[in-house]
């Protein structure tokens, strides 16, 4: 029987956290870069003759080395065509090394033992920002000698990328910067505004909307010093209550204090009764789980008392009744639809 993984997070309405953990500096971010190349040195696990683009790429590479070869005459299976992707870090400088991901686009069986040839990596503007080259790693080996990675046609070249072109960012001479909250929330935007203004004892921060806060550099601080101080400030961060359900794995994540309003839900042979009365009578054949929750083992019913019912104790009770993950998820979704659960329910 499929097991249900339960995670109950103790979430208070306010939580002290640093600004750097909940907000980003607009413009200071990673950039995606991509390239196309060949992985060579494979042991008969490369692309076959049906991958015409691989044969053409080999011919083009050989031609650049003054070797004229017709693609139809190439029979090697030691080469694979790949797409190379990476993240270009903010403020990366020429010569900085970074990791790249290599993924086969042909019919290669494995990239194990291969070497990535020099690959220009381009940004969305078509300009080359980095080069990549090196040995491809697809992880360790299992007891049968096969690659431990479940996808041997994808691997990494650790430290194989080198920055060739820098992305211009003149942060030092800016007079202001913009903070962007990772999650939109008016209260948190105002909290950051007030924390920054209180720290520098002047009005230099202004919340523009529920996600954006404009901050202006004090005259006695450099922009780098200013941002460093702002990011280290602590605020009372309002956490958003949420129930997260993963239907594929049967995982439910919820705060322990997410209250459920009075409702009656029937799912199969299980009935959940959340009553409006101040107390509940213990049904025949049932056992008391705690002061506010009684489970009817014979009737397969969950009885709860008004004002004390949460998603956490309902799910725990259903689990003790032997309810399947699918049944529990259906019950929670029905409660949300009926208006008994007011917080957001997200299915992933």
**Domain count of the fold of the chain:** 3
The residue ranking higher by pLDDT, 109 or 347, is: 109
Q: Which residues contact 241 (CB under 8 A, 6 or more apart)?
A: 11, 255, 258, 343, 344
**Full residue range of the structural domain in which residue 135 is found:** 31-163
Domain boundary among 163, 196, 224: 163
One domain for residues 113 and 154: yes
One domain for residues 195 and 247: no
Domain assignment of residue 5, yes or no: no
289-324 residue pLDDT tens: 443 444 444 455 555 555 557 777 777 777 777 777
21, 233 contact by CB (below 8 A): no
Tell me the CATH number at 175.
3.30.1360
Domain assignment of residue 8, yes or no: no
pLDDT (average), residues 313-339: 79
| pLDDT given for residue 291 in this prediction | 39
| pLDDT given for residue 289 in this prediction | 41
Least confident range from 51-60, 67-76, 87-96, 265-274: namely: 265-274
| pLDDT given for residue 303 in this prediction | 56
One domain for residues 197 and 278: no
One domain for residues 20 and 47: no
The residue ranking higher by pLDDT, 316 or 218, is: 218
pLDDT (average), residues 249-264: 74
Domain boundary among 146, 163, 180: 163
One domain for residues 37 and 154: yes
What are the beta bridge partners of residue 14?
238
| pLDDT given for residue 258 in this prediction | 76
Least confident range from 80-94, 114-128, 227-241: namely: 227-241
Domain assignment of residue 198, yes or no: yes
CA distance 192 to 198: 10
pLDDT at position 215 over 80: yes
CA distance 81 to 115: 12
| pLDDT given for residue 229 in this prediction | 94
One domain for residues 39 and 156: yes
One domain for residues 87 and 175: no
CA distance 84 to 102: 5
Domain boundary among 131, 163, 195: 163
Domain assignment of residue 142, yes or no: yes
* Mean pLDDT, the chain, integer: 80
DSSP designation for 281: -
CA distance 101 to 37: 12
| pLDDT given for residue 12 in this prediction | 40
149, 129 contact by CB (below 8 A): no
Both tokens assigned to 220:
């006695």
| pLDDT given for residue 146 in this prediction | 46
Letter string b/e over residues 234-243, b meaning 16 or more CB atoms within 10 A of that residue's CB: ebebbbebeb
| pLDDT given for residue 119 in this prediction | 95
One domain for residues 226 and 309: no
pLDDT at position 230 over 90: yes
What are the beta bridge partners of residue 156?
101, 137
111-145 residue pLDDT tens: 999 999 999 999 999 999 999 999 999 875 544 44
Domain assignment of residue 115, yes or no: yes
| pLDDT given for residue 255 in this prediction | 66
Domain assignment of residue 311, yes or no: yes
Backbone phi and psi for residue 326, each to the nearest 5 degrees, phi listed first: -60, -40
One domain for residues 210 and 257: no
| pLDDT given for residue 319 in this prediction | 76
| pLDDT given for residue 144 in this prediction | 46
One domain for residues 68 and 88: yes
One domain for residues 106 and 44: yes
One domain for residues 289 and 253: yes
283-293 residue pLDDT tens: 544 444 443 44
* Residue 271 banded pLDDT, cuts 50, 70, 90: confident
């Amino acid at each position: 029987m499929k097991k249900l993984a339960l995670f109950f997070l103790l979430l208070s309405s306010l939580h002290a956290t640093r600004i750097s953990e909940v907000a980003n500096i607009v413009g200071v971010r990673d950039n995606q870069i991509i390239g196309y190349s060949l992985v060579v040195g494979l042991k008969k696990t490369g692309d076959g003759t049906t991958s015409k683009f691989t044969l053409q790429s080999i011919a083009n590479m050989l031609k650049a080395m003054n070797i004229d070869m017709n693609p139809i005459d190439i029979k090697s299976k030691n080469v694979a065509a790949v797409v190379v992707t990476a993240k270009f870090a903010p403020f990366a400088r020429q010569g900085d090394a970074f990791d790249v991901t290599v993924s086969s686009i042909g019919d290669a069986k494995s990239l194990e033992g291969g070497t990535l040839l020099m690959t220009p990596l381009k940004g969305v503007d078509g300009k080359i920002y980095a080069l990549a080259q090196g040995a491809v790693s697809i992880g360790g080996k299992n007891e049968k000698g096969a690659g431990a990675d479940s996808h041997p046609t994808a691997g990494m070249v650790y430290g194989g990328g080198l920055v060739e072109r820098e992305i211009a960012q003149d942060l030092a001479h800016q007079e202001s910067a913009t903070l962007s909250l990772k999650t939109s929330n008016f209260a948190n935007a105002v909290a950051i505004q007030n924390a920054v203004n209180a720290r520098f004892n002047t009005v230099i921060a202004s919340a523009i909307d529920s996600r954006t806060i404009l901050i202006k550099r004090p005259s006695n601080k450099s922009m780098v010093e200013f941002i460093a101080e702002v990011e280290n400030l602590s605020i009372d961060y309002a956490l958003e209550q949420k129930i997260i359900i993963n239907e594929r794995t049967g995982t439910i994540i919820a705060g322990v204090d997410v209250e459920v309003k009075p409702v009656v839900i029937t799912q199969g042979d299980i009935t959940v009764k959340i009553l409006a009365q101040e107390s509940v009578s213990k049904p025949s054949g049932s056992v008391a789980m705690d002061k506010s929750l009684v489970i009817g083992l014979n009737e397969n019913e969950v009885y709860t008392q008004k004002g004390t019912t949460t998603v956490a104790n309902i799910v725990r009770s259903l689990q003790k009744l032997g309810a399947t993950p699918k049944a529990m998820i259906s019950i929670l979704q029905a409660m949300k639809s009926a208006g008994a659960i007011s917080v957001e329910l997200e299915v992933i």
